[in-house]
Amino acid sequence: MIKFASDQVGIDDLSVYVPKLFLPTAGEFAAFRSIDPAKLTKGIGIERMSIPDAHEDAATLGAMSMLNLMRRNDISPDQIGKIYVGTESGVDEAKAIGTYIIGMLEKIYGAGSFEDCSTVELKSACIGATLALENLCNWAVLNDEDQVGIVVASDIARYSLNSSGEYTQGAGSVSLLVRKNPRLIAIDGFTGSFTRDEDDFFRPIGASTAVVHGKKSNDCYLTAVGGAFASYKKKILRTGAIKLNDGECLTDHLAHLLFHIPYPRMAEYASASIFRTEWRDLPLWRNVETKIGDEPLPGDFTDMNEYLAKDAEFGKKFSKTEQFQIAYNSKVKDSTTISRLVGNIYTGSLYLGLASLAELHKLVPGQRVCFCSYGSGCSAMVFSGIVQPDVESLPPRNILERLNERTEINMKDYEMLHEKRRTESILDPTDEFAFTGLDEYGYRNYVFAN
């Protein structure tokens, strides 16, 4: 049984902000790109892509999610000790995006109101916000001034027009309130990591869109998350925090598995890889192989490509088994809800999964939630936390309702915004931060538009 400590640190609350524009994947987009709509809505799982308007960038999105978080929790600037931003959509090669965010927020709270606060930008592809969360949790443990920290994950996923990554675009920001005695999730301190140098995904200096090697990126994702999960499992079992009975595996003790979601179907692939590994030594595995055949082993093949082909075939069969579908539907599927309507937001995608569970009231006090974070290039971190007793005391966020209020745009406007050929916003900014242009030196200027 989980015991709730009075000196824990973790995520107290979160807020989500996405642009007010969206492009359906199954409408004009599928027709213009000659793609079967089912490949997009079912094959990758994205129904709508959030599209930033002309006045929006990663800084404005981050400032809006943080402003919403502060207002939700009646937090004043003097209570905030640190603002750590995870992003790979930085707007300046030197200046931290967090300082732009502070500048915007001071238009609301007053000049100099954030002076006693530090900020830093963490870049490690999509794992950046998780590294920010880890650092702020460590800071909160040592902080004795009852201050809070805020993690801002803010990104715009943009790929070249007509590229294979185009239909996995999205934009948005998630802000996490980090403090002692959190109401949402207490981080339990068990972490597994995996890192190595890969060229699966990168954005060269000066490039506005990323380079992605699709299949390799998926393979790196599965390898890295699998390695980090194995490390996490070793540590949490060694301490006795989780004890396995006969016939059990670690995932039996995890109520929810959250994954980085470049597209929702990737969460299914990643969870299938985890469950395959977890179940191999259980009686359950014999039932699986009875239905779909024996799992191919590398030692049975002289040609590695032949093995990989057979393994992929087995994986497809495994993902259709009743055993996997039950596990996926109960532990993973709900976390993809918001991502299906937003698309990829890089550093914030994992935390859209947490927001989805909160929105659907799927978080029950005492549950252990496992976070599987991934950043291309590549690095993975797996950690866990315990849902707290006050989880339902948090005010509603109405995220799904707000997503339904967005404005649909057409392909012409989408492509003009994508290529920055449209300088006037489709929707005039209202009650939000807006980028107004560059000065003579190239400095970015922002306002709060009423």
Mean pLDDT of 284-291: 94
Q: Which domain, by its residues, includes 361?
A: 9-449
Query: Is residue 4 situated within a structural domain?
Result: no
> Given this model, what pLDDT does residue 325 score?
97
Separation CA 308–CA 299 (nearest Å): 12
1, pLDDT greater than 90: no
Query: Is residue 67 situated within a structural domain?
Result: yes
> Given this model, what pLDDT does residue 211 score?
82
Write out the two tokens for 363: 């978080």
Mean pLDDT of 264-269: 96
3, pLDDT greater than 70: no
Write out the two tokens for 232: 């996490």
How far apart, in Å, are the Cα atoms of 240 and each of 25, 233, 250, 304, 435?
47, 11, 12, 38, 51
Residue 53's CATH number: 3.40.47.10
Assign residue 145 a region (left: φ > 0; alpha: ψ between -120 and 50; beta: otherwise). Answer: alpha
pLDDT in tens, 33-71: 999 999 999 999 999 999 999 999 999 999 999 999 999
Mean pLDDT of 224-253: 96
Mean pLDDT of 21-33: 97
Pick the range with the lowest mean pLDDT from 229-233, 300-304, 442-446.
300-304
Please, what is the Cα angle at 351 between 325 and 402, to 5 degrees?
95
Query: Is residue 339 situated within a structural domain?
Result: yes
Question: HSE-up of 175 (CA within 13 Å, CB side)?
Answer: 28
Query: Is residue 111 situated within a structural domain?
Result: yes
Query: Is residue 1 situated within a structural domain?
Result: no
More confident residue, 77 or 5: 77
Please, what is the Cα angle at 398 between 392 and 404, to 5 degrees?
155
pLDDT in tens, 89-124: 999 999 999 999 999 999 999 999 999 999 999 999
> Given this model, what pLDDT does residue 6 score?
53
Mean pLDDT of 324-347: 98
> Given this model, what pLDDT does residue 212 score?
82
Write out the two tokens for 405: 């209020």
301, pLDDT greater than 80: yes
Tally of domains in the chain: 1
Query: Is residue 399 situated within a structural domain?
Result: yes
Question: What confidence category does residue 5 fall into, taking pLDDT thresholds of 50, 70 and 90?
Answer: low
pLDDT in tens, 339-353: 999 999 999 999 999
Query: Is residue 404 situated within a structural domain?
Result: yes
pTM (2 d.p.): 0.96
30, pLDDT greater than 80: yes
Query: Is residue 2 situated within a structural domain?
Result: no
Three-state DSSP state, 24: strand
Residues 104 and 433: beta-carbon distance below 8 Å? yes
216, pLDDT greater than 90: no
* Nearest CA-CA partner of 21 in 417, 407, 405: 407
Mean pLDDT of 412-422: 97
Residues 159 and 212: beta-carbon distance below 8 Å? yes
Separation CA 305–CA 325 (nearest Å): 28
Mean pLDDT of 122-145: 94
> Given this model, what pLDDT does residue 4 score?
52
Long-range contacts of 95-98 (CB under 8 A, 24+ apart): 96/120, 96/121, 97/58, 97/59, 97/62, 97/121, 97/154, 98/152
Question: What confidence category does residue 210 fall into, taking pLDDT thresholds of 50, 70 and 90?
Answer: confident
Residues 62 and 154: beta-carbon distance below 8 Å? yes
Name, in order, each residue with C-beta under 8 angstroms of 117's C-beta and a sequence gap of 6 or more. 77, 80, 81, 82, 83, 102
- What letters, b where the CB count within 10 A reaches 16 and e where it falls short, cover 157-192? bbbbeeeebbbbbbbbbbbbbbbbebbbbbbbbbbb
